[in-house]
Chain A
Amino acid sequence: MATQMPFKDFGEEVVRAENLRKTFTLSRKQQRLEHTDFARKVAVNGLSFSAQRGEIYGLLGPNGAGKTTTLRMLSTLIGPDSGDAFVCGHSVVREPQKVRDVIGFMTSELKLEGFFTPSYLFDFFGAMHGVEKEALSARKKELFGRFGIDRFAEVKVRDLSTGMLQKVSLVVAIVHDPAVVIFDEPTNGLDVLTAKVVTDFLLELKAMGKSILLSTHIFSLVEKLCDRVGIIIDGKMAADGKLTDVCAGRNIEDRFFEIYRAVRGESV
């Protein structure tokens, strides 16, 4: 499918992925681990979907389905082999710099330097996104207060608890008040209290008109947060649409396994 030119006025369609494809070369060791003789693995295979303004879109799938790879392509960390995606009208292939201006990306893959304090890192990443000093100061006060980071603002990141570190990572990712927030497994490894703080904040962001893209394998999270869902299996989009449409009157867990069996032709 030919990639269309990016639309200047992107309207309500904040993210649009068009036929994204990504393959990786497997080392001999990886081939052994995956029990395959193929030197290349298709991680994402012709994925297309769109996310709307002010909505939460969830990519749901098992481990290795291609969720994280898709989000990494949308955040311009890696490029697609073919296809393209547009974030706020900017192509991830041709305008990665502009895409990075409008997104906030959070994943366990991206770490914060343990030597610095949350306050320093917030200011640093604010400067990296070109946020003015006064606006940065006001935003720090607001976000640090909102997440209870203010008491730990001058504690070195390496000395923070996992939950507090996740909160700091979150506020650093959205320091520039991005229009689109991309979260890879937002509640992974969090205790129940911190997980609730994060999920509540995602709903707050949505209420503020932000668009959120998240990947998860937790059914309850999809049901609680997502307006739309895309079910990815083996790098392909198996179902995509409004949560109510995809579920068709059933809960997401039952629906997911039904789709999984239909695609893979095997029981779980």
Chain B
Amino acid sequence: MKLLALMKKEFARFFGDPRLLITMIVPGVLIYLIYSVMGNAIFGGGEARYDFRVYVSGESAVVDVIDAAVASNEGWTAEFIYLPADGVQTVDEALERVNGGQADALLVFSEGFDEAIAGTGAGNVVPSADLTYNSENETSAAFASLARGILDNYGRTFSFTVNDFAESADFARNMMAGLLPFLIVIFIFSACMSVTLESVAGEKERGTLATILVTSARRTDIALGKVLPLSCVSLIGAASSFLGVILSLPTLMGISVGSAVSGVGALGYLMLLLLIVSVVPLIVSAIAVVSTLSHTVKEASGYTSVLMLLMMVLSIVAAFVSGIGDWVVAVPVLNAVVCMQGVLTGAMSIWKCLVSFGLNFVYTALLVFVIARLLSSERVMFGK
């Protein structure tokens, strides 16, 4: 009952002030604008038109699906040339064409691919699909992105191999996948910071928090009464950032919306959302601890900036250091950054995502306990 009243008060404070609401929504709009501009700069605008030339060895209905996906993008066309064809008899010859830029990709399906993945084929041979492309060629890279999205999420079990003649040329995309989670976390941090500093350090500075402390409400209720509603409010900012990312991702990656969604996949997006949901209350709690320890909003703002800087450094390191061990799931916030990178690079680990999700809530609970203890501390609350 008291917790409910405390939460309602925070919501009333937030939703009664349009300025606070705007500070939550602006980050998402900014993300969308910044990323779209970045994407246009990298890929030369969002109105790219592609005429794909793709060699195909073997037969599969997947080709029709890819063809339909290509056709769904305005101005995009695809020519699928089945081997053997005039002048190109073998797979090796087709590979040379892809490497040389005369073709954009080669798709190789094992014999009886469709029957095998449908479970109606004979024998125990695992069906396979190989995609070879050259990411130095923009058209080739765009086709590979689209084809990968479809094959990764085809919903059947088969062996899928991707070969790139120029792995290093994928650097730009990998860098984006590395930076995106870092940027998401930074935007979330900003959203949490703007509401938490005002609500906790601000109330402490103005003496209104002490008025609540002299009532019969328990300290844990007061702590939860701050963290829960502030997390919900910050989630609006997080959702805004999340939408900004989703909507700008296609432009950023130089692909269509459909390709972007199928590239990350529904499960991937769910994981991204879960990770964001777990990070928000954790960051709110961390800022609330700092705010409770501070005498003024200014002081809290200074300490929180240090916290933000620390998080930025860790996230940047995580973005560019490969081969981070599984231990990272135990590191608050950083675990979410690494898991989000996994989702965006197609190396998603569901167990890592779920463990990170759970652990972040455990850390939040611990921080709420710390806040309650701090609220009971005379030195912290009333020390000069």
A86 contacts the other chain (Cβ, under 8 Å)? Answer: no
A112 contacts the other chain (Cβ, under 8 Å)? Answer: yes
Complex interface bits, A102-125 against B, C-beta within 8 A gives 1, otherwise 0: 010100011111111000100011
Nearest residue (CB) in A for B221 is A128
Stretch at the interface among B10-18, B136-144, B188-196: B10-18
Complex interface bits, A122-157 against B, C-beta within 8 A gives 1, otherwise 0: 001101111000000000000000000000000000
A251 contacts the other chain (Cβ, under 8 Å)? Answer: no
Cβ-defined contact, A127 with B2, below 8 A = yes
Question: Distance (Å) between the CB of B366 and the closest chain A CB?
Answer: 23
The answer for the CA separation of A76 and B384 in the assembled complex, in Å, is: 18
Nearest residue (CB) in B for A102 is B216
Nearest residue (CB) in B for A125 is B215
Cβ-defined contact, B207 with A111, below 8 A = yes
Residues of chain A contacted by B218 (CB below 8 angstroms): 97
Residues of chain A contacted by B211 (CB below 8 angstroms): 110-112, 125, 172
Residues facing B in A71-125 (CB within 8 A) are 72, 75-79, 97, 100-101, 103, 105, 109-116, 120, 124-125
A244 contacts the other chain (Cβ, under 8 Å)? Answer: no
- Known interface pairs A78-B378, A110-B210, A113-B203. Does A120 touch B12 (Cβ–Cβ under 8 Å)? yes
Cβ-defined contact, A97 with B203, below 8 A = no
Residues facing A in B85-100 (CB within 8 A) are none
Cβ-defined contact, B382 with A128, below 8 A = no
Q: Which of A77, A79, A125, A176 contacts B213 (CB 8 A)?
A: A77
Q: Which of A105, A112, A114 contacts B214 (CB 8 A)?
A: A105
B173 contacts the other chain (Cβ, under 8 Å)? Answer: no
Question: Distance (Å) between the CB of B160 and the closest chain A CB?
Answer: 57
B175 contacts the other chain (Cβ, under 8 Å)? Answer: no
User: What's the interface size class on B, roughly?
Assistant: 20 to 34
Question: Distance (Å) between the CB of B287 and the closest chain A CB?
Answer: 20
The answer for the CA separation of A79 and B13 in the assembled complex, in Å, is: 31
Residues of chain A contacted by B17 (CB below 8 angstroms): 115
Q: How many A-B residue pairs have CB under 8 A?
A: 70
Residues of chain A contacted by B267 (CB below 8 angstroms): none
Q: Which of B5, B208, B215 contacts A111 (CB 8 A)?
A: B208
Residues of chain A contacted by B206 (CB below 8 angstroms): 111, 113-114
The answer for the CA separation of A110 and B210 in the assembled complex, in Å, is: 6
Chain A binding surface SS class: loop
B217 contacts the other chain (Cβ, under 8 Å)? Answer: yes
Residues facing A in B180-239 (CB within 8 A) are 203, 206-208, 210-218
Residues of chain B contacted by A116 (CB below 8 angstroms): 9, 12-13
Question: Distance (Å) between the CB of B211 and the closest chain A CB?
Answer: 4
Residues of chain A contacted by B210 (CB below 8 angstroms): 77, 109-111
Residues of chain A contacted by B217 (CB below 8 angstroms): 128
A30 contacts the other chain (Cβ, under 8 Å)? Answer: yes
Residues facing A in B1-43 (CB within 8 A) are 1-2, 4-6, 9, 12-13, 16-17
Question: Distance (Å) between the CB of A132 and the closest chain B CB?
Answer: 10
Residues of chain A contacted by B2 (CB below 8 angstroms): 127-128, 130
Residues of chain A contacted by B215 (CB below 8 angstroms): 100, 125, 128-129
Residues of chain B contacted by A105 (CB below 8 angstroms): 214
Cβ-defined contact, A101 with B216, below 8 A = yes
Residues of chain B contacted by A97 (CB below 8 angstroms): 216, 218
Residues of chain B contacted by A27 (CB below 8 angstroms): 384
Nearest residue (CB) in A for B219 is A97
Cβ-defined contact, B216 with A130, below 8 A = yes
Residues of chain B contacted by A111 (CB below 8 angstroms): 206-208, 210-211
Residues of chain A contacted by B203 (CB below 8 angstroms): 113
Nearest residue (CB) in B for A77 is B214
The answer for the CA separation of A139 and B5 in the assembled complex, in Å, is: 18
- Known interface pairs A105-B214, A127-B1. Does A78 touch B382 (Cβ–Cβ under 8 Å)? yes
Cβ-defined contact, A115 with B16, below 8 A = yes
Question: Distance (Å) between the CB of A144 and the closest chain B CB?
Answer: 19
The answer for the CA separation of A66 and B148 in the assembled complex, in Å, is: 75
The answer for the CA separation of A103 and B382 in the assembled complex, in Å, is: 20
In the complex, given contacts A27-B384, A113-B206, A127-B4, what are 14 additional A-B residue pairs having Cβ atoms less than 8 angstroms apart?
Answer: A77-B213, A77-B214, A79-B378, A109-B207, A111-B207, A111-B211, A113-B208, A115-B13, A120-B12, A125-B215, A127-B2, A130-B1, A130-B216, A176-B216
Q: A residues engaging B (CB < 8 A)? A: 27, 30, 72, 75-79, 97, 100-101, 103, 105, 109-116, 120, 124-125, 127-130, 172, 176
